[in-house]
Each structure stands twice: as structure tokens, then as C-alpha cells.
A and B are shown apart, each in its own frame.
Chain A
Amino acid sequence: ETGVTQTPRHLVMGMTNKKSLKCEQHLGHNAMYWYKQSAKKPLELMFVYNFKEQTENNSVPSRFSPECPNSSHLFLHLHTLQPEDSALYLCASSGQGAPRDTQYFGPGTRLTVL
């Protein structure tokens, strides 16, 4: 595997379900990110982890719970979601060196909440 991978690619869940999204980066980066992309809206940063430590929580509701066990893996645990949470969830990573701060994205998970 190369780059940034995400699983599952598609997920349909009910409002009472609990599910998790997984992201893995194979680039040797130290920072990982979760973004939400809804229709007609700009990409929204949700969480940032740098060297496994959460450094940004962009006022995300507690029904989204991130976990970063190491610099290569990032999870997003989902519970009691709302239909308006349906969106494309993108993971990205970045590292030191050139090009500075460039973020590389995974393919995304298309989430539908019924």
C-alpha cells in the first residue's frame, strides 16, 4: 500500500449505530488530519494530530471521537450520528521537509446516516 488509505470507502449507518473509520498513511509523516466535506460547502477541518497528540479540535460534536494510536494510524469513532452528518470524510497526512506542510489526502469514506 502506498500513500494514504482509508476504510471503509462507503458506509451506511443508522442513527443508533456505532462505527469507526480507519486511516493509515505510508508516507512517514508525523501529522494526520480528519476533514468533512459536505455538498456545496468547503472542506472543514475536524481534528489534527501531531506525533499522536491532538493539537486541534475544530468545535466538533462529541459524537465524533478521534483516536491516534501512532503516527501512521488514525481512527474516527462514530456514535449516535445525525442525518446531517452524511458527508465525505477525508483523512490527510503531512510531514516535515519540502514541500512544507503539504497535505496528502486519502480516497475518503462516503458516509450516509439514515
Chain B
Amino acid sequence: QKEVEQNSGPLSVPEGAIASLNCTYSDRGSQSFFWYRQYSGKSPELIMFIYSNGDKEDGRFTAQLNKASQYVSLLIRDSQPSDSATYLCAVITAGGTSYGKLTFGQGTILTVHP
């Protein structure tokens, strides 16, 4: 079983719609959860981080965490063509230290069409 699993997609949504990206993880000790966006040929760029169960909103982005179900998701409201990218879910288990081992999913390719 992969440690962090994402549907590779591609996920295609029309402009203005809500894009829903999902991620599951296997380690119950996981403490910190991140969503990165990666444009083709570029490096990953942090979008959101979440530590506690529930929702966290930042502009058009909402991260949702359910530790009991070992599930984290990212919602993108009012999707724009510029949101077209690969979205990486990353999970870290080393809580309480100044660094941690990030484990990445394989990423979900999102395409927003006009």
C-alpha cells in the first residue's frame, strides 16, 4: 500500500466550477498535511497546510482533514484556467521536531477548461 495516495487524474473541470482533490494516507501518526501546486517544468509551490481536523480556508482554497478516516482534501472554488497544474498532497509524521520527512503522493493533474 502506498503511503500517500492520490488519483492521478486528469481531473477536468469547467471554469468557475469547484475542483475537488482527494488524498489518503496510511500512517495514523501523521501530524502535518500539505498541498503543493506544481506547474509543468516548475518546482512545487505551497498552497495550504493543515494540522487539525476540520476545514481551513484561504481565499478560493479550502483544505479538509479527517484524521479518523485518514483523508485530506483540497477544494478550489471558482476554478480558473491558471489553476491548471499538478496538485501534490504531502504528509509528515515527525511531530515536535524542527524538521520532518515529507512523503508525497504522485499528484493529481487538474485541467480547468474555459
Interface residues of A (CB under 8 A from B): 30-31, 33, 40-43, 45, 48, 50, 55-56, 88, 90, 94-96, 99-108
Contact of B98 among A42, A95, A105 (CB under 8 A): A95
Task: Give Cα distance in the complex from A42 to B45, angstroms.
Answer: 15
How many inter-chain residue pairs (CB < 8 Å) link A and B?
59
Contact of A105 among B32, B43, B49, B105 (CB under 8 A): B43
B46 in contact with A102 (CB, 8 Å) = yes
For A45, what are the chain B residues with a Cβ–Cβ distance below 8 Å? 101-103
A103 in contact with B43 (CB, 8 Å) = no
A42 in contact with B106 (CB, 8 Å) = yes
B88 close to A (CB within 8 Å): yes
CB distance from A74 to the nearest CB of B (A): 13
Q: Which of A56, A88, A101, A105 has the most CB of B within 10 A?
A: A101
B43 in contact with A30 (CB, 8 Å) = no
Q: Which residue of A lies closest to B103 (CB)?
A: A45
Task: Give Cα distance in the complex from A88 to B49, angstroms.
Answer: 24
Task: Give Cα distance in the complex from A31 to B92, angstroms.
Answer: 14
A96 in contact with B44 (CB, 8 Å) = no
